[in-house]
Amino acid sequence: MSGEQELGITESKEHSTGEWYAEVVQKAELADYAPMGGFIVTRPRGYAVWERIQDHLDGWFKDTGVDNAYFPMFIPESYLEREKDIVEGFDPEVAWVTHGGHDELEERLAVRPTSESIITPFIADWVRSHRDLPMRLNQWCSVVRWEATETKPFFRTKEFLWQEGHTAHADEDGAWDETMTRLDQYERLYEDVMAMPALKGRKPEHDKFPGAHTTTTIETLMPDGKSVQAATSHYLGTSFAEAFDITYADEDEEDQTAHTTSWGLSWRSMGALIMLHSDDQGLVLPPTLAPTQVVIVPIWQEDNKEEVVEYAADAAAELEEAGVRVNLDDRDNRNPGFKYNEWELKGVPLRIEVGPNEVEDDELTLVHRPDGENSVESRDDIAATVEDHLDTVYAKLYASAEETLEGEIREADSREEILGTIGQHGGYVKTGWCGDEDCEDPIKDALAAEIVMVPLDRDEEPLHDDCAICGDEAEETAYWAKTY
Sites of contact with a second copy (CB under 8 A):
32, 34-36, 39-44, 47-48, 50-51, 67-74, 76, 79, 91-102, 109, 111, 118, 121-122, 125-126, 137, 141-142, 144, 146, 148, 158-159, 161
Shortest Å distance, C-beta 168 to a second copy: 14
**Residue-level length of the chain:** 484
Give the closest residue to 423 by CA, choosing from 453, 406, 448. 448
Phi, psi for 181 (deg, rounded to 5): -55, -45
Identify the CA nearest to 156 among candidates 275, 253, 43, 311. 275
The candidate with the shortest Cα–Cα distance to 291, out of 83, 43, 98, is 43
Q: Strand pairing partners for 215?
A: 234
Angle at 429 between CA 428 and CA 434, to 5 degrees: 130
Pick between residue 108 and residue 410 the one whose CB is nearest to a second copy: 108
Closest CA to 222 of 271, 154, 272: 272
- Closest CB to a second copy among 22 and 470? 22
C-beta separation of 236 from 243 below 8 A: no
Q: How far is the CB of 49 from a second copy (least distance, A)?
A: 11
Q: Closer to a second copy at the Cβ: 122 or 356?
A: 122
The whole-angstrom separation of Cα 257 and Cα 250 is: 10
Q: Which residue, 35 or 255, is less far from a second copy as judged by CB?
A: 35
Question: In the complex, what is the shortest distance from the CB of residue 305 to a second copy, in angstroms, rounded to a whole number?
Answer: 20
Shortest reach from residue 245's CB to a second copy, in Å? 14
Q: What's the min distance (Å) between Cβ of 389 and a second copy?
A: 26
Residue 43 or 464 having the CB closest to a second copy: 43
Supply the minimum distance, in Å, between the C-beta of residue 29 and a second copy: 8
Between CA 19 and CA 222 the distance in angstroms is 15
Question: Is the dihedral angle over the CA atoms 25, 27, 29, 33 positive or is it negative?
Answer: positive
Q: Which residues of 173-193 are buried (b: 16+ CB within 10 A; e: fewer)?
A: ebbbebbbbbbbbbbebbeeb
Least distance in Å: CB of 110 to a second copy? 10
- The nearer residue to a second copy, 79 or 340, going by C-beta atoms, is 79
Taking the complex as a whole, the smallest distance from the CB of residue 120 to a second copy amounts, in Å, to: 12
* Full DSSP string of 420-462: HHHHHH-SEEEEEE-S-GGGGHHHHHHHSEEEEEB-S-TTSPP
Task: Give Cβ neighbours of residue 254 (< 8 Å, ≥ 6 apart).
Answer: none
Residue 87 or 451 having the CB closest to a second copy:
87
Which is closer to a second copy, CB of 58 or CB of 307?
A: 58
